[in-house]
């Protein structure tokens, strides 16, 4: 099922950008897990729009209403369903898009697949808004993982040509713009401001780290940690690539440079380096798991673009109205954390039975 993910834990995402509600169902959570709603709210706020200059001003409370699966905020073993009502919708903004598919969006491919029946308003089920229920599910998993000593945190690794600098080894959740180097963060925000000014947009890379993992998590072949994480991360709109450890840079290396030598310390085996990004053969080594996801620039830009008028089947110019995030990377940071948390916790549940 394309809107579901997971092996032991299964999350199903439903809703469209402008449907009465969006939401998620999480099956397979153990009974007896307390959910800290206040903390979940804080997590969801990191993804919410309207927080900064680079973010769409559409204001959404994004407060989840839990319909099932909880008794006094503790899981009871039944599926957990939570919804968010869509209130601040402006469908008339989207009338033009019905006949003029936006370049770089799923408008045209949705038209191909659903033969005109797709919900074109706001991108329908393809909208970035659907990452809100993903973050509900992921926010719950993050709370559970933390109790197991597993921490997941992401940063903006780059935006446009600007790279973050410094050692990345702890959560940046308290930063409004999550980079290690505030100076580089400033420069990134400048790139976003420049793009916005020119009615354009920029892309970037999010880097995610998972610490505290037990060794032996994950499975051979098609259920390796990479397959599991890639399988959910590519469900986040605008992701065009993923790499683990040294990733694409590994392709340029010698084996003698890339192999992580083993050593013994305090009675435990440790790797002296972590080019592998914490995974060998799909299975965790106990070193930090590291991956990066590449986000393309937001396709919704104010600049006029060439598209096709579907009724007349001839080229047409599209000028997207309304305001859109000139860069979705900052808001994607908690989405990546959420996706990683779901994948990792699912692997943990699968692991307990080996």
Q: Taking CB under 8 A as the criterion, which residues in 279-318 touch its own copies? A: 279-286, 294-301, 303, 305-308, 313-315
Q: 338: alpha, beta or left, given left = phi > 0 and alpha = psi -120 to 50?
A: alpha
Q: How far is the CB of 47 from its own copies (least distance, A)?
A: 16
Work out whether 51 is an interface residue with its own copies (CB under 8 A).
no
Work out whether 30 is an interface residue with its own copies (CB under 8 A).
yes
Q: List CB contacts of 320: < 8 A, sequence separation 6 or more.
A: 102, 300, 301, 302, 305
Q: Which is nearer to its own copies, 187 or 296 (CB)?
A: 296
- What element of type H or E holds 155? strand 151-159
Q: Which is nearer to its own copies, 53 or 170 (CB)?
A: 53
Find tokens 């440079």 and name the residue. Answer: 257
CA torsion, ordered 85, 90, 94, 95, to nearest 10 deg? 120
- Beta strand 151-159 with 204-211 is antiparallel
User: Out of 90, 253, 319, 321, which residue is the one contacting its own copies (CB under 8 A)?
Assistant: 253
Q: Please tell me the distance from the alpha carbon of residue 345 to that of residue 347, in angstroms, as a whole number.
A: 5
Instruction: Build a one-symbol-per-residue string for 71-110: x at contacts with its own copies by CB under 8 A, - elsewhere.
Output: x--xxxxxxxx-x-----------------x-xxxx-xxx
Q: Please tell me the distance from the alpha carbon of residue 188 to that of residue 161, in angstroms, as a whole number.
A: 8
Largest CA-CA distance found in the chain, in angstroms, rounded: 72
Q: Which is nearer to its own copies, 161 or 169 (CB)?
A: 161
Return the number of other C-beta atoms located less than 10 Å from residue 265's C-beta. 8
Instruction: Scan residues 189-228 and list those touching its own copies (CB under 8 A).
Output: 195, 200-205, 215-216, 218-224, 226-227
- What element of type H or E holds 226? helix 225-233
Instruction: Scan residues 112-151 and list those touching its own copies (CB under 8 A).
Output: 112-119, 124-126, 130
Size of the residue set binding its own copies (CB under 8 A)? 148
Q: Please tell me the distance from the alpha carbon of residue 320 to that of residue 100, in angstroms, as a whole number.
A: 10
Work out whether 188 is an interface residue with its own copies (CB under 8 A).
no
Q: How far is the CB of 275 from its own copies (least distance, A)?
A: 8
User: Out of 144, 239, 332, 333, which residue is the one contacting its own copies (CB under 8 A)?
Assistant: 239
Q: Which is nearer to its own copies, 43 or 291 (CB)?
A: 291
User: Out of 277, 288, 330, 334, which residue is the one contacting its own copies (CB under 8 A)?
Assistant: 277
Contact call for residues 296 and 332 (beta carbons, < 8 A): no
Only segment of 38-46, 56-64, 136-144, 345-353 that touches its own copies (CB under 8 A): 345-353
111: closest CA among 125, 121, 101? 101
Instruction: Scan residues 59-78 and list those touching its own copies (CB under 8 A).
Output: 65-71, 74-78
Q: Which is nearer to its own copies, 45 or 98 (CB)?
A: 98
User: Out of 230, 289, 335, 341, which residue is the one contacting its own copies (CB under 8 A)?
Assistant: 230
Work out whether 234 is an interface residue with its own copies (CB under 8 A).
yes
Q: Please tell me the distance from the alpha carbon of residue 163 to that of residue 204, in angstroms, as a whole number.
A: 9
Q: How far is the CB of 9 from its own copies (least distance, A)?
A: 9
Structure letter (DSSP) for residue 220: S
């Amino acid at each position: 099922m394309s809107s579901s993910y997971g092996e032991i834990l299964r999350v199903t995402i439903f809703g469209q950008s402008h449907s009465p509600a969006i939401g998620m169902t999480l099956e397979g959570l153990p009974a007896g897990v307390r959910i800290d709603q206040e903390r979940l709210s804080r997590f969801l706020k990191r993804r919410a729009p309207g927080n900064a200059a680079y973010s769409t001003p559409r204001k959404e409370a994004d407060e989840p209403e839990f319909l099932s699966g909880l008794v006094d905020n503790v899981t009871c073993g039944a599926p957990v369903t939570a919804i968010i009502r869509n209130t601040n919708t402006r469908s008339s903004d989207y009338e033009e898009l019905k006949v003029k598919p936006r370049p770089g969006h799923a408008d045209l491919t949705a038209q191909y697949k659903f033969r005109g029946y797709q919900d074109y308003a706001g991108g329908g089920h393809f909208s970035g808004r659907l990452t809100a229920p993903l973050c509900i599910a992921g926010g719950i998993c993050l709370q559970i993982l933390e109790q197991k000593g597993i921490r997941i945190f992401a940063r903006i690794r780059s935006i446009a040509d600007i790279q973050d600098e410094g050692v990345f080894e702890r959560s940046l959740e308290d930063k409004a713009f999550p980079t290690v180097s505030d100076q580089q963060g400033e420069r990134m925000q400048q790139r976003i401001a420049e793009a916005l000014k020119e009615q354009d947009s920029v892309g970037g890379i999010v880097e995610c780290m998972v610490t505290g993992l037990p060794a032996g998590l994950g499975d051979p072949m098609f259920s390796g940690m990479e397959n599991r994480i890639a399988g959910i991360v590519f469900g986040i709109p605008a992701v065009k690539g993923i790499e683990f450890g040294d990733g694409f840079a590994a392709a340029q290396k010698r084996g003698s440079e890339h192999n992580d030598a083993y050593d013994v310390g305090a009675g435990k085996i440790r790797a002296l380096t972590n080019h592998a990004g914490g995974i060998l053969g799909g299975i965790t080594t106990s070193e930090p798991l590291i991956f990066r996801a590449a986000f393309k620039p937001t396709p919704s830009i104010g600049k006029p673009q060439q598209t096709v008028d579907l009724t007349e089947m001839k080229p047409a110019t599209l000028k997207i109205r309304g305001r859109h995030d000139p860069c979705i990377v900052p808001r994607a940071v908690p989405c990546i954390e959420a996706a990683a948390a779901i994948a990792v916790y699912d692997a943990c549940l699968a692991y307990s039975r080996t």
